[in-house]
Amino acid sequence: MTTAHPLPNFTGVWKLNLEKSIIRGAPPKQILMNIEHRDATVIQQIRSTDANGAQQRQTFTCRIGVDTKNSVNGVELQSSTQWIGTELVIQSDFSARGREFYFKDYWSLSEDGRTLTMAHRDDDLAGQISILEKIPDADSALFNDF
């Protein structure tokens, strides 16, 4: 008899570990992400700094099992989110610069809950793997200072 593993909760403030990640395209200088995961709703607030020091803030919201729309940098995304085992899979389609894009992001949480892996396996970013490390609660105010 097998015991089902509980589904992970991704709530927390996370920092991208560039040394452990494989980034397609120009690597950022820093990415911080605040994730609120309540029931079927996942809200990502992303704060990024590019190599030149320019900062960008974005919010991405999805509902598990429900198609959702978001706007990122003025581009509308159509997304669907579902659980496959204990991985959260977010698929997004959008048009930009005269072409269609397809992203399928697989989220998994380490057993200790301290490492979030976001992997693109079979989409336009295939091979990209972002490794994010949870910032201790005492240091999570850093996200608001960014």
Q: What is the pLDDT of residue 138?
A: 54
pLDDT tens for residues 16-48? 999 999 999 889 999 999 999 999 999 999 999
How far is residue 133's CA from residue 33's CA, in Å, rounded to a whole number?
10
Q: What is the pLDDT of residue 1?
A: 43
How far is residue 143's CA from residue 39's CA, in Å, rounded to a whole number?
23
Spell out the residues 6+ positions from residue 29 whose beta carbon is closer than 8 angstroms to its own: 49, 50, 51, 53
**Domain boundaries of the chain, sorted by first residue:** 12-138
Q: What is the pLDDT of residue 78?
A: 93
CATH T-level fold of 12-138: Lipocalin (2.40.128)
End-to-end CA distance of the chain: 48
- Other Cβ atoms less than 10 A from the Cβ of 106: the count is 17
Does residue 71 or residue 81 have the better pLDDT?
81
How far is residue 26's CA from residue 1's CA, in Å, rounded to a whole number?
47
Q: What is the pLDDT of residue 50?
A: 92
